[in-house]
Every structure is written in C-alpha cells, then in structure tokens.
Amino acid sequence: MGGTEEMTNTSIGVQELRTRIGEKAKADPQHRFWGLYTHVWKLDVLREAYRLAKQNNGAPGVDGVTFERVEREGVELLLESLSRELREKSYEPLPCRHVNIPKEGGKVRGLKIPAIRDRVVQGAVRLILEPIFEADFQPGSYGYRPGRSAHDALERVRVGLCKQLHRVIDLDLKSYFDTVRHDLLLSKIARRIRDDDVLWLCKRILKASGKRGADADAEPLPQRARGEIDSASRRLRMHSKQSVVLAKGIQIRLGKPSFHKQNRK
C-alpha cells in the first residue's frame, strides 16, 4: 500500500475522517464501529480511492477497461455510478481476471486482478477500515502496512540481534489467497465492525471470482494489481498469527541462533 506518500497526498476531508476513526480505535480497543457504510459511498472517498488505484497503475480486469478509457469516458461518471450502486446496495463486483506469474523453480503464482471499478470500491472500504485495524496490529508487523517497508523490518531485526534475540520463527501462509476461509476472515472483521452493510459489502468482494486460462501467456504484472481487499485480509491473518506467538511469550534472549519454519494454511 501507499506508505508515507499516500498519507501526505490524501485529501484533507478523507484524512481527517481516517484520523478520527484511528484515534477512536486506539483509545478503545474493544469498540465496535457502526455507521461506516455511509462513508464508503461518499464521492470524496471514492475519488481518493480512484486516485490511489490509478497511482498504482495496475492492469485491467476481466472487462478490459483501462484507466485511459475511464479518463476518456469520464471519471466522475464512474464514481457517481458506483456511489449510487453502493447506496442502493445493488453493487455487484465483476469476476476477477486470473493471471499466472512465473516464480523460481518453474512454479507459478496465481494473481487475481479486479476490474478498475471494483478496485475503487475496495480502496474505499480500505480507506475507512484501515485506521481501525492499524490500531490493533502489533508494532513489529511490517507487511502490507502503510508507511512501513522491508527496510524498516530489517532495521527491527538488526536491533533485535543487538539485544541478543537470536531465534527466528518463520510462519509461511501457504497459498493464502487460495485457501483463506471467508467466514473466519469476516468474523475477525466483525470483532471491530458492527455495521451490517459494511460486512455485506466485504462478503460480496470476497466472493468475487474469475476463470483461469485466458491469460496463460500474459506478461508478468506488478503485485500491486492484486485487489486492496486481498492485502488487507492478509494483514488480518498475520496479526492473528503474531498474537499467538506473543501470547506464548516466545522471546529468547540467549543461546545459539536457530531457525524454525512452519507452513500454515
């Protein structure tokens, strides 16, 4: 996600809203938010979501619509249409386009690419929900988080080594985007959200799927093409795993360096 640049470029109205939501989430870790859905379909939130989606410059989805076409036909027309569909609860996400990305060893990674219109809606949901869950995430979590990078994670490792923290536990969420259970993910969201309309929208987004095969020879695509909801859901899953590790008090200060790896679905 966008990091520091995203935070400084976000429109003032949306930024103030996110700040208020985040402050409330930090002040009351048990609070369950309601009345959020109204913000998702507001045009200023959708405009910001579109700006961020275009900034990522991802590939078109199953409908073949590019950003150039959206700009040519009118961005406001698209956003007003999405706002109306969300407000009337007639919004239906398109199936995702599936592309196989080559990996080392001859393996491939499946990538689901939402249509631009659906990326905008996902981005709007993220803009509203992200401050809530950011307040809950562990300070040592760096993946898929705004304002954090792999360099920050490496610095955290360096500091840990200086403190004689030598044991590394590597948890790999195997085939996460293909195996994640939607019911469990939605239940985690519901721990902080008691807005039925938001949960309805999240469920629709998660249910959207596409067909494989049409793009077997497509050029490799940047990971940013993946939907906003995918990376957000991965953060929630990693948070639960980190919480389990911390709850067991795994922080060993002495002893020889060791490495443990587990694959978890």
Cα–Cα dist 203/207, whole Å? 6
Cα–Cα dist 17/45, whole Å? 10
Cα–Cα dist 122/114, whole Å? 9
Mean pLDDT over each residue of the chain, to the nearest integer: 78
Token pair of 81 as six digits: 């249409």
**Which stretches of the chain are DSSP H helices?**
3-9, 12-27, 37-40, 43-56, 67-73, 75-88, 116-134, 150-162, 176-179, 182-190, 196-207, 228-247
pLDDT at 254: 39
Mean pLDDT for the stretch of residues 227-247? 51
3-state class (DSSP) for residue 194? coil
pLDDT at 12: 63
Position with higher pLDDT, 254 vs 34: 34
User: What is the DSSP secondary structure assignment for residue 60, as one 8-state letter?
Assistant: P
DSSP class per residue in 70-118: HHHH-HHHHHHHHHHHHHHT---PPPPEEEEEE-GGG-EEEEEE--HHH
Q: List CB contacts of 140: < 8 A, sequence separation 6 or more.
A: 156, 242
Cα–Cα dist 42/84, whole Å? 10
Q: How far is CA 265 from the centre of its chain?
A: 18
Buried b (16+ CB within 10 A) or exposed e, 244-256: eeeeeeeeeeeee
pLDDT tens for each residue of 104-127: 888 887 788 999 999 999 999 999
Mean pLDDT for the stretch of residues 21-34? 94
User: What is the DSSP secondary structure assignment for residue 249, as one 8-state letter?
Assistant: T
pLDDT tens for each residue of 149-199: 888 888 888 888 898 887 777 766 666 656 677 888 889 899 999 999 999
Locus of tokens 């200023």: 44
- Partners of 261 in the beta sheet? 170
pLDDT tens for each residue of 188-222: 899 999 999 999 999 999 888 544 333 434 443 33
Q: CB of 94 within 8 A of CB of 114?
A: yes
Q: In degrees rounded to 5, what are phi and psi of residue 257? A: -60, 135
3-state class (DSSP) for residue 169? strand
Best CA proximity match to 9, nearest among 127, 114, 120: 127
Model confidence band, residue 227 (pLDDT cutoffs 50, 70, 90): low
Model confidence band, residue 102 (pLDDT cutoffs 50, 70, 90): confident
Cα–Cα dist 131/119, whole Å? 19
Position with higher pLDDT, 144 vs 73: 73
Token pair of 208 as six digits: 């959207």
Q: How many CB atoms lie within 10 A of CB 199?
A: 16
